[in-house]
């Protein structure tokens, strides 16, 4: 039987072993509008995005502390030279011969720590701070004020690592013990997000949890500690700058995802399967019929003005699958609706119920599906359950009372 296609989607036919029976997973993609976890009033249409830095004072203090340390080192060296110059020839000779103290050397200046980069906050706000479904607007007259606060790049411990590697041999002779040396750097770049409505109500205020945990990065490894030290002296600032840049981009992407999930109404694409059963000898006509109706219903999900049409198509598909499930006999391999057909039908029906917001029924069907313990369908049930719980949470948040 030829299965009609009503969406321009690829079809992957995964035929299961059997005689004339064929259970085929038709791959489909469709769009839907994801509801926000924090519902907004219908009067909210605009937002103003701002990124602020909160670490300039810390940078100034860091630079001042380093400058003071340099001054102290230089002062101590100058005083030592002055004292040495004032000593008599005999005292200098005594100190050199007996105490092994020669002429004071120049000051050893302390190395500066990496200074966190001060980013272009306007570019960050424009690039990453968005709320889907709302229009960006400048100034305080926006319906929402979105502020992302940056606490700056924080360098933690720098630990030297000894890495066991293979020994290098030249002419059959080992040149070392195979130990290489590297630095492992801990770092983080905390930030927070605050969203305030026009009336002053705080809709969202939290520290981005992922940004508060230290990460670790290792330098390249060197055969000797001296080689590592030389590399670090020349490349520390470049190495840390890359960590700073990369982490800021990653964290700002998390901000965009957070705002989108909590407040946005984004159109997402769902890739799934509708299972169709056919047989040369047994009538399974309800399955291609249900497939066509389900695909038509899913296609309309992203169109709010067609929600009634979408529901009608999915309900008609569901009625056909429920009729098949009424014949389910998983223990009889010769039954029309045997274990595998039952599993396929339960999966189809669970997904349709999810999009009809019948979450309890969808969950009940997934439980029955998992009890059949057919591996490919059990995995599909787990994946669908994750989406189900998220959709349930969002639906309930937007339909309180």
CA–CA separation, 182 vs 223, rounded Å? 9
Q: Average pLDDT by consecutive 10-residue portion of the chain (401 residues)?
A: 38 42 92 95 95 87 76 75 69 56 67 86 96 92 96 93 67 63 96 96 95 96 92 94 97 96 94 94 95 96 93 98 97 94 97 98 98 94 97 94 65
pLDDT for the residue 70? 74
List the beta bridge partners of residue 271: 29
Tokens of 4: 């009609």
- Residue found by looking up tokens 């890495």 in the block: 163
Residue pLDDT, tens place only, 213-253: 999 999 999 999 999 999 999 999 999 999 999 999 999 99
Measured between alpha carbons, how far is residue 20 from residues 26, 283, 291, 341, 376 in Å?
18, 11, 20, 13, 21
Q: Considering only CA atoms, which of 212, 205, 47, 189 is closest in space to residue 119?
A: 189
pTM score: 0.77
In whole angstroms, what is the distance from residue 218 CA to residue 380 CA?
39
The C-alpha atoms of residue 147 and residue 150 are separated, in whole angstroms, by 10
CA 392, 395, 396, 397 torsion-angle sign? positive
- Enter the DSSP assignment of 106: P
Q: What are phi and psi of 192, to 5 degrees?
A: -135, 160
Q: Which pair of tokens denotes residue 24?
A: 């085929």
Q: Beta strands 169-170 and 144-150: pairing type?
A: unpaired
pLDDT at 67: 77
CB atoms within 10 A of CB 313: 21
Instruction: Write the CA distances from 244 to 184, 196, 241, integer angstroms.
Output: 15, 29, 5
Look at residue 62 in the predicted model and tell me its pLDDT: 75
How many C-beta atoms lie closer than 10 Å to residue 171's C-beta? 5
Q: Where are the beta strands (DSSP E) in 153-197?
A: 154-164, 169-170, 173-174, 179-188, 191-197
| Residue 163, strand partner residues | 180
Q: What are the residue boundaries of the structural domains of the chain, listed by start?
A: 22-35+265-398, 60-113
DSSP 62-77: HHHHHHHHHHHHHHHH
């Amino acid at each position: 039987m030829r299965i009609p296609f009503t969406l321009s989607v690829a079809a992957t036919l995964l035929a299961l072993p059997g005689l004339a029976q064929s259970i085929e997973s038709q791959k489909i993609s469709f769009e839907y509008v994801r509801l926000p976890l924090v519902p907004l009033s219908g009067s909210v249409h605009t937002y103003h995005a701002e990124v602020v830095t909160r670490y300039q004072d810390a940078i100034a203090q860091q630079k001042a502390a380093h400058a003071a340390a340099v001054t102290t080192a230089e002062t101590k060296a100058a005083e030592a030279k002055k004292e040495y110059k004032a000593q008599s020839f005999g005292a200098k000779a005594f100190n050199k011969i007996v105490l092994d103290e020669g002429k004071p050397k120049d000051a050893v200046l302390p190395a500066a720590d990496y200074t966190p980069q001060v980013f272009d906050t306007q570019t960050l706000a424009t690039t990453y701070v968005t709320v889907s479904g709302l229009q960006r607007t400048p100034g305080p007259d926006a319906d929402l004020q979105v502020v992302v606060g940056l606490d700056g790049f924080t360098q933690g411990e720098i630990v030297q690592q000894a890495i066991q590697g293979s020994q290098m041999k030249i002419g059959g002779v080992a040149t070392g013990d195979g130990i290489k040396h590297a630095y492992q750097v801990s770092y983080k770049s905390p930030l927070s997000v605050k969203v305030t409505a026009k009336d002053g109500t705080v809709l969202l205020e939290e520290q981005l949890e992922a940004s508060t945990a230290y990460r670790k990065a290792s330098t390249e490894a060197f055969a000797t500690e001296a080689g590592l030290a030389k590399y670090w002296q020349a490349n520390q600032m470049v190495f840390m700058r890359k960590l700073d840049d990369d982490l800021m981009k990653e964290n700002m992407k998390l901000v965009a995802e957070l705002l989108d999930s909590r407040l946005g109404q984004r159109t997402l694409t769902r890739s799934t399967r509708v299972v169709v059963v056919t047989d040369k000898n047994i009538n399974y006509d309800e399955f291609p019929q249900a497939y066509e109706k389900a695909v038509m219903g899913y296609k309309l999900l992203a169109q709010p003005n067609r929600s009634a049409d979408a529901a009608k198509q999915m309900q008609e598909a569901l009625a056909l699958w429920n009729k098949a499930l009424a014949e389910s006999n998983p223990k009889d391999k010769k039954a029309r609706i045997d274990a595998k057909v039952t599993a396929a039908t339960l999966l189809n029906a669970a997904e349709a119920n999810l999009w009809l917001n019948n979450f309890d029924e969808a969950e009940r069907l997934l439980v029955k599906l998992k009890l059949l313990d057919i591996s490919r369908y059990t995995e599909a049930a787990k994946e669908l359950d994750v989406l189900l719980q998220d959709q349930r949470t969002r639906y309930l948040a937007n339909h309180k009372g």
